[in-house]
Amino acid sequence: MIYPHIPGPIRIPTPAAHTRSTMLATLENTSHWPLGNCWLACGRTNIPVAFLSPIILPGNTATGLYGCADCLRAWGERALEHILNGGSA
């Protein structure tokens, strides 16, 4: 399935190429993000959010998963720590 709002193929960078500072810099400017509800840990409403993934529910009902910069930062730091420590799924 192709999602037109997801640009190009997803590339997972190596730990050396993706540092904490690059990740944080990506989340600094959220002025172009739409206002919406964070579906991650905080659950805040009417804040800038980024589209993360489509969610397909039974009955072919679809919606999107959105997250705010604070939750994405925490999620990203946790994932990066996992990768740098040689973790696997």
pLDDT tens over the chain, length 89 residues: 444 454 444 454 454 444 555 555 567 888 888 999 999 999 999 999 999 988 888 887 888 899 999 999 998 888 888 888 887 66
Domain count within the chain? 1
In a domain, 27, yes or no: no
User: What pTM, to 2 d.p., does this model score?
Assistant: 0.66
In a domain, 56, yes or no: yes
In a domain, 16, yes or no: no
Q: Count CB atoms within 10 A of the CB of residue 38.
A: 22
Half-sphere exposure of 64 (CA within 13 A, CB side): 13
In a domain, 45, yes or no: yes
For residue 40, the enclosing domain spans 33-84
In a domain, 10, yes or no: no
